[in-house]
Chain A
Amino acid sequence: MNLASIVNNQTQTPEAVLFFILAPVMVLSALGMLVVKKAVHSALLLAVVMIGLAIFYIANEAPFLGIVQIVVYTGAVMMLFLFILMLVGVDSSDSLEETIKGQRISAVLGSVGVGFLLISLLSRAELGRAYAGLELVNGEGNVQAIAKTLFTRYVWAFEVISALLITAALGAMVLAHRERLLPRKSQRELAAERVRQSAIPVAGLPGPGTYALHNAVDIPALLPDGSPADSSVSKTIAARGELANPNTFRMNEKNEAGEE
């Protein structure tokens, strides 16, 4: 039986309405994905296409496939794409200059050719036997039917593919792996190091006037030994030459000692 005639015979009105609303949206987003400049917009439009596809799966009584399509492709794969693209920045857009000569024309020709090939093949495709029908296939429930097919008839293919995926993940980890030469420092060790080595005191710079008799901004703080701390006064004030002499504000005994 021809695929086109199946579609014509079996499409019901609500499904047709859904199709004629969603299909243009999907086609437009798919085209937009190719045309828009920013990579993130492309990724978003692709996500729209994927969700539209999932809705079609659900409408065709394959709820498990539809939901998994959203969880896996939209939720995980597309999100990882987006992750990478986001790190590129908001203003970056792809350069439209050709790097290989004649690339654009050959790409258009090639894709149009493949498209024609696919359309001509699909329009003449036949199942070769009567289709079983959803009632029979989904008889004991959609999820149960898929589980049964996947884990009995196709269990070998399923396991091989999962082994392949795990190998790919491990390969990526090996490629990105770097042997540590020194043990990683813990937060505690880092903090202790910072305290010991830092040029800036851990507690911050002393405020002006600390330990002195006045705490105006132009009076440097006194260090515990009585000498002025230059870092406690703003550099601007020092540059203007408005720095007060801290020695005049020293404690009494020291003052007297200075006058003697």
Chain B
Amino acid sequence: MNSARDLILDDPGWLIAVKGLLVFVFCVLCTLMAIWFERRIVARMQLRLGPNRVGKFGLLQSLADGVKLALKEDLIPAAADKLVFIIAPIISATTCFMAFAVIPMSGPVKMFGQETAFQLTDIPVGVLYILSVASVGVYGIVLAGWSSGSTYPLLGGLRSSAQVISYEIAMGLSLVAVFLYAGSMSTIDIVDAQDQFWYAIVLFPSFIIYAISMVGETNRAPFDLAEAEGELVGGFHTEYSSLKFALFFLAEYVNIVGVSALATTLFLGGYHAPPGLGFTESWLGGWFTFIWFFIKVVLFFFVFVWLRGTLPRLRYDQFMQFGWKVLIPANVAWIMVVAVLRYFTLNGASRTSILIFGGAILVIFLMGSSLYERSKAKKGEVTASAVDAPAPYPVPELPMKISTFTVPRAERERE
């Protein structure tokens, strides 16, 4: 039944090696282009032009920057723990690539005369594997912060690891609904299960929570508290320079592409064409599916850039509260609803009874939320009156009268 999986499992050794290389090259090229794309888009949003000097449209800007970065002096602080200081960026940069091993990037295609699919391997716990790799990747950040031997990196490392761990929970929970519907944790099965409806529509709340937590997971604006310039200089990589810094940079962008690719796989139907465009999937000998996959990833990346260009950074406690007190409970409630619905569907309940159940849940949810809003509004009144009317700021009196007329308060309010 599953032709793509059989094709992958039949790959000869040399093809696996070639695919591994291709995935690596894809990630690195994506990073180079992503940096350029981000700078150009953010520039547009701020009414600037962005890099446009090196190469056509400035396309080679990040390559030039990379060369410059590599030629800079590589400093290791005297207070640093030297070995860990060197290992940390290596951990970061290697783990981020590993997640791509299980991402299906195309349907069945011909590659060097072999029938296969552009996916390195398929394991029955593919999505969990990505989560586990991400959790090892956190070590890179934590160790970088600790081994630098100075305060700001340590705080940045602590912050970012706390952040990544908290948002990984929300992320993992939002995947549960997908597993329930697809009946599998393998990425190929999940993509195949979406041939009718994308899970972004069927499991909309999960999709939204995943989209939020993936921004938190990758330490990106507006959740980039780990590198808050105003508070922590550069965060965990303050002490890093030259190639080691470049590795962190690379890891950040590969991670963004990685979570975007995972979102594409889990919620946007992976390499499949959007509904109604299914005939395009056989174009270019099946390679057109890769183009669909790539377009979806770029869309996600564009949202990342859009967020960065639009939103101010959150305060740390607000951010953590949002993760633990909003995202996770909402997710758990949603999973219970999904599980019950799924149980009924699998046991052959009629469509009407499922619709009635779903409607009842919706009504309860709306009632609960409106009650909550009301109680909050009442509380708000109380606190507003308590803090009301702060005393005027202590401004020294002016030697001469500047304004000769004062509008009575009552009149001003009437206007």
* Chain A contact residues, CB within 8 Å of chain B: 38, 40-41, 44, 47, 51, 54, 63-64, 67-68, 70-71, 74-76, 79, 82-83, 86-87, 90-91, 141-143, 186-189, 192, 195-196, 202, 223-226
Q: Is the CB of B129 within 8 A of A67?
A: yes
CA distance A202 to B125 in the complex (A): 57
* B contact residues, total (Cβ < 8 Å): 39
Residue from A54, A224, A226 having most chain B Cβ neighbours under 10 A: A224
Q: Is the CB of B132 within 8 A of A70?
A: yes
Q: Is the CB of B132 within 8 A of A196?
A: no
CA distance A79 to B154 in the complex (A): 14
Contact status of A44 and B143, CB under 8 A, knowing A141-B124, A224-B398: yes
Q: Nearest chain A CB to B129's CB is how many angstroms away?
A: 5
Q: Is the CB of A224 within 8 A of B154?
A: no
Q: Is the CB of A67 within 8 A of B128?
A: yes
Q: Is the CB of B132 within 8 A of A75?
A: yes
Please name all residues of chain A whose beta carbon is closer than 8 Å to the beta carbon of B162 when the two chains form the complex: 83
Closest to B150 in A: A90
Task: Indicate whether B399 reaches chain A with its CB closer than 8 angstroms.
Answer: yes
Q: Is the CB of A40 within 8 A of B146?
A: yes
Please name all residues of chain A whose beta carbon is closer than 8 Å to the beta carbon of B135 when the two chains form the complex: 70-71, 74-76, 79
Closest to A75 in B: B135
Q: Nearest chain B CB to A224's CB is how many angstroms away?
A: 5
Q: Nearest chain B CB to A76's CB is how many angstroms away?
A: 7
Contact status of A224 and B142, CB under 8 A, knowing A63-B125, A67-B132, A143-B185: no
CA distance A223 to B390 in the complex (A): 25
Task: Indicate whether B277 reaches chain A with its CB closer than 8 angstroms.
Answer: no
A-B contact pairs, 9 of them (CB 8 A): A63-B124, A67-B132, A68-B128, A79-B138, A79-B165, A141-B124, A142-B124, A189-B387, A196-B393
Please name all residues of chain B whose beta carbon is closer than 8 Å to the beta carbon of A187 when the two chains form the complex: 315
CA distance A12 to B142 in the complex (A): 38
Q: Is the CB of B391 within 8 A of A63?
A: no
Closest to A70 in B: B132
Q: Using A75-B138, A189-B387, A196-B390 as known contacts, list a sample of 13 further A-B pairs with CB atoms less than 8 Å apart, ordered by residue number in A.
A: A44-B139, A47-B139, A63-B124, A64-B124, A74-B135, A142-B125, A187-B315, A196-B394, A224-B396, A224-B398, A224-B399, A225-B396, A225-B399
Q: Which residues B71-115 have CB closer than 8 A to chain A?
A: 79-81, 84
Please name all residues of chain B whose beta carbon is closer than 8 Å to the beta carbon of A76 when the two chains form the complex: 135, 165
Closest to B395 in A: A224
Q: Is the CB of B145 within 8 A of A63?
A: no
In the complex, the 8 A-B pairs of residues with the closest C-beta atoms, listed nearest first: A75-B135, A70-B132, A90-B149, A86-B146, A71-B132, A67-B128, A67-B132, A192-B390
Question: Which one, B80, B125, B390, contacts A64 given CB within 8 A?
Answer: B125
Contact status of A226 and B399, CB under 8 A, knowing A70-B136, A79-B142: yes
CA distance A91 to B79 in the complex (A): 8
Please name all residues of chain B whose beta carbon is closer than 8 Å to the beta carbon of A47 when the two chains form the complex: 139
Residue from B131, B139, B162 having most chain A Cβ neighbours under 10 A: B139
CA distance A67 to B101 in the complex (A): 15
